[in-house]
Structure 1
């Protein structure tokens, strides 16, 4: 769950020139075709959706495989740590390379790498071997390639849709991601109950679908580069500097980093709670299916909240909401009730993701898209790699109930700190562009 909140006065100074399509729309020119009729956007949307679905299926399969095969929460924490570690060590360099390399070609290579690693795990598990080092290596590779893919895909959106359709496109992308979770997480649980290797083999097939869709896209995913790449270290520093100068973005992302860390531990605690209550892997699927509806609702109403609540208000409200919801996980092992708790948490996260994604893509110059996305990923999600690791050891040392209450107390402290955030709001130009897109495009509804 991420959020992007640059201060408006700084963001306006950095905002790119108005897209020609947006200028034409303001001049009274006919609106462009619906996003559903935009061939390249549909292919990109479907391909990224397949990638997300495959990643969701395998992501839930890893902890299920380790906990049900070995009974070790600490081993599950190690595998989860390996999957989340790229957020800490890969983000910055991935962003710089996304700005340097051909983004479409890079996404194709990412799909190939994920396909091969998922197939390797599936073949190993099918043969009856559950090797923690192999699972850790595969999870790290898939997590790393997913970062490259995500940064490239987010930067590519503005090149396949007109400027005035960007809010609707980003809302559609967030809904796609939530749908992948809604379908992928329970599907991963069900596939695991059928055969331990099935989720990983399914993931390999999903990446194949994404690969084919990328090969069919015609448009370029970046502006023409007029300058040769410079010093990589200097480019990394430029991306960090641009991001860090946005005052509200800086402090808001630090707050989100803390909440992401806590949610990693809470997600692992959820599996242990269900397991201790006598539930099965399928029960985890029920919980994720219920929570996924909240994510979908949040994504589809994202532009609604953007027009009515400031960035600061969304972030504070989200932190307070999460602080109220987290301790409820320790009070029940009922999958439906736990699903409702995670439903509300997912809705909050989706609204924040839509608002942040639209804003970041809209104001960041194309040459900095990858680096700014990588910098924000490092700040917002880098610490999350420690959440799964710490959560696994805390669960073994203190038990599920005490661990959940500890996580909830830390979230309450973050919610109090969020009240100190400086004021920030969307630039007026972005607010105007979001309103007609949400009102007229069916994808935004």
Structure 2
């Protein structure tokens, strides 16, 4: 008597990321929102100057737009971890629609009221900041663990592309009509809201801890990062490299100007650099499958040092574009590496707060780097300052290689 053995069930093929409807809705909506934000940010100073405002007024509006990075960052992390992420993101899109819609209406009316423009810039910047934190925290709830690196790589590439296209879009729309960049940004927030409402899955795990005082929850996020040796070292490296790149960005402007270049030259170099960033973001998941994280991080710092030094001795737009594209490639790649690790190891209930700690370190050093860059370039000159930046980057690479937490990160 024979017994027929039942065939083992065949596992269904994994759904590719491009067919993950919920992830695509989030990815597309956030990308449109980021493009609108970039276009509006570029248009702020154009609006003030072309409406007869002073450079001081233009600076005040730009300051209002970036101020949330310092004031709102840590409380925003608490909001993302405490409340329903979908509702938080819906509220952010609504704030963006109202803020940018009010600016578009003001320009159409033919008036320019500086306090309203500053308030709109601040509230839209705050909403965009909270939205980005919530979106990053939500990704791992929409994709399989083995797809996380690819998903975050696509997010990084999307951000690089939005930065690349947003500047020309903002200035181009402003050329057509002063209200258009702000109307476009309002519509972009509305489109992001629609895609968000189409997502079916929950964007966070069930909350099991009752909300506490905001200060207590911020301290919890800071303490968690401090207890992770690798994260502690990574925050330090991120902060240091951002400070150096702000100095380098200002040096680029002076290099181009001193050799007879124009603002268009700087814009073209920025576009080439952005292409390098997109390529680096897309290459991130591929590199992570083949190289250890320590090699990628230390290698990035070495590459930055090697690519920075020639900036001090060249003025050709093609050469400068290639150098900055290489730096952006390495930077986007390491952003993916660090981002994947952070999202993987951080508990879902701490995602917003931990990401906000990294973002605060980044934005804080951006401000310090802009100030330090002006002082150093005035005192030492362009070439000496850039050589110093390259040397500092090399020292950071050596420090990373010698730091056990970076050399042997936890798996």
Please state which band the TM-score falls in when normalised by the shorter chain.
0.7 to 0.9
SS in structure 2 opposite 1:383?
helix
Distance between the aligned counterparts of 1:156 and 1:65, measured in 2?
Answer: 35
Whether the 8 Å contact between 1:193 and 1:281 is mirrored in structure 2 is no
Which deviates more from structure 2 when the two are superposed, residues 226-235 or residues 126-135? Answer: 126-135
For the pair 1:359 / 2:341, whether they are aligned, the reply is: yes
Which deviates more from structure 2 when the two are superposed, residues 398-407 or residues 367-376? Answer: 398-407
Whether the 8 Å contact between 1:82 and 1:385 is mirrored in structure 2 is no
Distance between the aligned counterparts of 2:211 and 2:100, measured in 1?
Answer: 33
2:94 alignment counterpart: 112
Distance between the aligned counterparts of 1:39 and 1:77, measured in 2?
Answer: 42
TM-score by length of 1: 0.77
1:38 to 13, 20, 38: 20
Whether the 8 Å contact between 2:294 and 2:409 is mirrored in structure 1 is no
Which deviates more from structure 2 when the two are superposed, residues 158-167 or residues 356-365? Answer: 158-167
Q: How does 1:58-77 map to 2 (within 5 A)?
A: 58-62=40-44
Which deviates more from structure 2 when the two are superposed, residues 313-322 or residues 415-424? Answer: 415-424
SS in structure 2 opposite 1:301?
helix
1:52 alignment counterpart: 34
1:183 alignment counterpart: 165
Give the paired residue count: 402
Provide, for residues 380-437 of structure 1, a one-character-per-residue CA deviation record: whole Å limited to 9, x for no partner: 4332233335546766787766665565554444344334322445655xxxxxxxxx
Whether the 8 Å contact between 2:157 and 2:278 is mirrored in structure 1 is yes
Provide, for residues 350-397 of structure 1, a one-character-per-residue CA deviation record: whole Å limited to 9, x for no partner: 111111111111111111111111122223433223333554676678
Provide, for residues 106-130 of structure 1, a one-character-per-residue CA deviation record: whole Å limited to 9, x for no partner: 1122122233333445556677777
Whether the 8 Å contact between 1:188 and 1:285 is mirrored in structure 2 is no
Whether the 8 Å contact between 2:68 and 2:122 is mirrored in structure 1 is yes
Which deviates more from structure 2 when the two are superposed, residues 349-358 or residues 198-207? Answer: 198-207
More relative contact order in 1 or in 2 (CA 8 Å, sep 6+)? 1
Whether the 8 Å contact between 2:103 and 2:120 is mirrored in structure 1 is yes
State the shift of 1:171 in Å.
1.6
1:288 alignment counterpart: 270
SS in structure 1 opposite 2:402?
coil
Whether the 8 Å contact between 1:325 and 1:345 is mirrored in structure 2 is yes
For the pair 1:420 / 2:402, whether they are aligned, the reply is: yes
Distance between the aligned counterparts of 2:214 and 2:361, measured in 1?
Answer: 19
For the pair 1:168 / 2:143, whether they are aligned, the reply is: no
2:305 to 323, 347, 360: 323
Q: How does 1:343-358 map to 2 (within 5 A)?
A: 343-358=325-340
1:221 alignment counterpart: 203
Which deviates more from structure 2 when the two are superposed, residues 74-83 or residues 351-360? Answer: 74-83
2:138 alignment counterpart: 156
1:98 alignment counterpart: 80
Distance between the aligned counterparts of 1:272 and 1:62, measured in 2?
Answer: 23
1:230 to 202, 206, 212: 212
Whether the 8 Å contact between 1:64 and 1:281 is mirrored in structure 2 is no
1:256 alignment counterpart: 238
Taking a change above 3 Å as real, the CA distance of residues 170 and 102 of structure 1, as seen in their structure-2 partners, is same
1:307 alignment counterpart: 289
Distance between the aligned counterparts of 2:54 and 2:330, measured in 1?
Answer: 31
State the shift of 1:342 in Å.
2.0
State the shift of 1:154 in Å.
0.9
Distance between the aligned counterparts of 1:417 and 1:88, measured in 2?
Answer: 28
SS in structure 2 opposite 1:30?
coil
1:371 alignment counterpart: 353
Which deviates more from structure 2 when the two are superposed, residues 174-183 or residues 40-49? Answer: 174-183
Provide, for residues 277-300 of structure 1, a one-character-per-residue CA deviation record: whole Å limited to 9, x for no partner: 665554444223211221111111
Whether the 8 Å contact between 1:298 and 1:347 is mirrored in structure 2 is yes
Taking a change above 3 Å as real, the CA distance of residues 162 and 316 of structure 1, as seen in their structure-2 partners, is closer
Distance between the aligned counterparts of 1:125 and 1:406, measured in 2?
Answer: 45
Which deviates more from structure 2 when the two are superposed, residues 60-69 or residues 183-192? Answer: 60-69
Whether the 8 Å contact between 2:77 and 2:355 is mirrored in structure 1 is yes
SS in structure 2 opposite 1:154?
helix
Distance between the aligned counterparts of 1:59 and 1:287, measured in 2?
Answer: 19
Which deviates more from structure 2 when the two are superposed, residues 417-426 or residues 252-261? Answer: 417-426
Distance between the aligned counterparts of 1:64 and 1:270, measured in 2?
Answer: 22
